[in-house]
Amino acid sequence: MPLETIYVVRHGFRSSWSVDHTTGVYSASIPSPTGIAVDPALTAHGVDQSRQLAQHLMTMDPPVDVVYSSPYYRCLQTITPFVELRQQQQQQQQQRQQRHAHAHAHSQHGESTSLSLSTSVGSGSHSHSHSHSDAATMIRPEHGICEWFGSAPFEHPGPASPSLLKSLFPAFDESYVSAQYPPRRGETLAQLQARLTATMQSIIDRCDAEDRRAVVLCTHAAAVIMLGRILTGEFPETVDADDFHAFTCGLSVFRRKKVDNRDRGKGELPDKEPNPSAAAAAAGVVGGWSCEANSDCSFLAGGEERGWKFVGDEEFPDTGSMSQAASTSESKL
């Protein structure tokens, strides 16, 4: 069964950082658990938001089959409460299956036979579960949906090492290989669009091959907005258009269109280099999805908070445009 639904969430309320735009030195007033200034933890309010999001995600139809997240701490921290709920749910299901198998074997074959049968049947159930539902109890760390940093003459900090993140988040899947990586010296808006398009093509293709019905992506504000434009194929005339929203812990929902009804890439960003590939459009990535929820926050006690939108390319000194350079440190809250 092909992928039907994509859930996109933005991370919760976090602490901030600052950057010296001439040297590229990042700093934060509150130390990060990973020791990286641009990798802060959620605030207490953000943690509350993540728990409310987790409860809401458990009610989704179709239910989440697989979890992807930006490997920055705030995103992993945001999606972890949901993964923990799914782990608890899976454990309860396995216990019920084992009790049922034991009772059935006992009633049919007697006490001595039931022990061996319950073990084999229970193991078989667990094996089947591991082949599919276990994917929602692990987090696939995808660098292709990482934070967006503007073009710069210096390298931006990246996420922490997989080994450190695994020690902090046990559900972190170290075996997963990312589809894309952002350039260390930042990106233009067109490059961000190309990166996310290629990433989504890979994720959708993999989910189709694995028979996943629904996937959740936990990412950042810029990616949330750009993903909305890519998936629907609805690119505004100006990048600062108020189209797709990105509130903290907001949930966007995209449903796959019928093949013959797809609107394949109705537009592009005004900055036309590079364009999404024809292959991605043909595969139903660009314009292959309809938006049914746009950063919905109705399930959050505080409602819509810390909305964000594009202003322009966030380029640093000596890379061209200086649009929004003065506020880059707070741009992607």
Is residue 124 domain-resident? no
Is residue 118 domain-resident? no
Residue appearing with tokens 């309809």: 290
Q: Do the beta carbons of residue 208 and residue 59 sit within 8 Å?
A: no
Q: What is the DSSP string of 132-160?
A: HGGGGGSEEE-GGG----B--SSPPP-PP
Listed in order, strand segments (DSSP E) in 23-170 are 26-27, 66-69, 139-141
Q: What CATH number is given to the structural domain containing 10? A: 3.40.50.1240
Is residue 123 domain-resident? no
Rounded CA gap, 71 and 139, in Å?
9
Rounded CA gap, 121 and 143, in Å?
39
Q: Is 18 helix (H, G, I), strand (E, B) or coil?
A: strand
**The overall pTM is greater than 0.75:** yes
Rounded CA gap, 333 and 56, in Å?
22
Is residue 104 domain-resident? no
Residue length of the chain: 333
Is residue 121 domain-resident? no
Q: What is the DSSP string of 148-210?
A: --B--SSPPP-PPPHHHHHHH-TTB-TT---S----TT-B-HHHHHHHHHHHHHHHHHHHHHT
Q: Do the beta carbons of residue 305 and residue 11 sit within 8 Å?
A: no
Instruction: Say if strands 214-219 and 5-10 run parallel, antiparallel, or are unpaired.
Output: parallel
Rounded CA gap, 132 and 65, in Å?
8
Rounded CA gap, 267 and 22, in Å?
35
Domain carrying residue 11: 5-97+134-330
At 241, which amino acid appears?
A
Q: In 18-40, which positions are buried (b, 16+ CB within 10 angstroms) versus exposed (e)?
A: ebebeebebebeeebebebbbbb
Is residue 115 domain-resident? no
Is residue 113 domain-resident? no
pLDDT confidence of residue 127: 37
- How far is it between the farthest Cα atoms of the chain? 80
Question: Looking at the 3D structure of the chain, how many domains does it have?
Answer: 1
Structure tokens at 90: 């899976």
Is residue 324 domain-resident? yes
Q: Please report which helix (H) or strand (E) contains residue 105, including its range.
A: helix 73-109
Rounded CA gap, 155 and 70, in Å?
19
Q: Please report which helix (H) or strand (E) contains residue 13, including its range.
A: none
Rounded CA gap, 174 and 159, in Å?
14
pLDDT confidence of residue 128: 37
pLDDT tens for the chain, residues 1 to 333: 799 999 999 999 998 888 887 778 888 888 899 999 899 999 999 999 999 999 999 999 999 999 999 999 999 999 999 999 999 999 998 888 877 777 777 677 665 544 444 444 333 433 333 445 577 999 999 999 999 999 988 899 999 999 999 999 999 999 999 999 999 999 999 999 999 999 999 999 999 999 999 999 999 999 999 999 999 999 999 999 999 999 999 999 999 998 754 444 444 444 444 455 555 655 679 999 999 999 999 999 999 998 998 987 666 666 443 333 333 344 455
pLDDT confidence of residue 317: 60
Instruction: Give the CB-side neighbour count of residue 175, counting CA atoms within 13 A.
Output: 3
The answer to whether the bond into 2 is cis (omega within 30° of 0) is no
